[in-house]
Amino acid sequence: MAQGFAIILDLFVTFFKIGALGFGGGLAMLPYIERQVSHYHHWLSEGEFLDLLAIAQSTPGPIAINSSTFVGFRTAGVAGAVVACIGVVFFAVFAINLLSSFLERNVENLRIKQLFLTLRPITVGLILAAAFTTGRKVLIDLPAVFVAIAAFFLLSRFKLHPIVVVLSFGAAGALLYMFA
The pLDDT tens digits of the residues spanning 89-137 come to 999 898 888 888 888 888 889 998 998 899 889 888 888 888 888 888 8
Instruction: Encode pLDDT of 10-25 as tens digits.
Output: 999 999 999 998 776 7
| Residues comprising the chain, all counted | 180
Q: Count Cβ atoms below 10 Å from residue 88 Cβ, excluding itself.
A: 31
Closest Cα partner for 148 from 179, 173, 123, 125? 173
Cβ neighbors of 165 (< 8 A, separation 6 or more) are: 151, 154, 155
pLDDT digits (tens, 9 = 90+) for 25-56: 777 788 889 999 999 999 999 899 999 988 88
Tell me the CA distances in angstroms from 40 to 10, 58, 102, 142, 148, one per residue in order: 12, 26, 36, 32, 29
- Closest-CA residue to 71 (of 28, 132, 29): 29
Q: Binning pLDDT at 50, 70 and 90, where does residue 1 land?
A: low
